[in-house]
Amino acid sequence: MGFERFGTVSFTTETKAADFINYLEKGQVSATRCKKCGRVYFPPRVQCADDLTTEVEWTSLSESGTLLTFTQVNYGPSGFENDTPYTLAVVEFDEGIRVFGRLDKTIPSGDIKVGMKLRAERLNLAEGKISYQFVKA
Ligand SMILES: [Zn+2]
């Protein structure tokens, strides 16, 4: 339980990676790292896809990532209609992972440039829900 608080539309209440929401409540956007091979996962996974070990540890995303690509959403899917327009982005972090998420709505659209530095932070949503977003680093 607890994971139902994640996101505008919650698709699951149960996950082995539910600690993600506990870290997010503390303001930390977290990934998992395999203790055996070092591979980092976001969304967090509790089992490494490479060596199948469940020996993973939680880690924060690095403080700065690079915007790889983005798109503005003007017609949102079910549950997101009232949030439009918003910008979806893919950010590459130093850990070598690419993270998909929303861009801070306060960033003017003309300021959004591929290659800009961003970091992930907690985003408070309606009804006590939480998520993460990318803000300028
Ligand atoms: Zn591994």
Domains detected in the chain: 3-136 (2.40.50.840)
Structure tokens of 9? Answer: 């539309």
Look up residue 123 and give its amino acid.
L
Q: Distance, CA 49 to ligand 1 centroid (Å)? A: 7
Tell me, in angstroms, the distance from the centre of ligand 1 to residue 38's CA. 6
Instruction: Answer whether 82's CB lies under 8 Å from 133's CB.
Output: no
pTM value?
0.88
pLDDT tops 80 at residue 115: yes
Contact by Cβ (8 Å): 94, 62: yes
Q: 57-105 pLDDT, tens per residue?
A: 999 999 999 999 999 999 988 888 888 999 999 999 988 899 999 999 9
Report pLDDT digits (tens) over 21-35.
999 999 999 999 999
* Cα 51 to ligand 1 centre (Å): 5
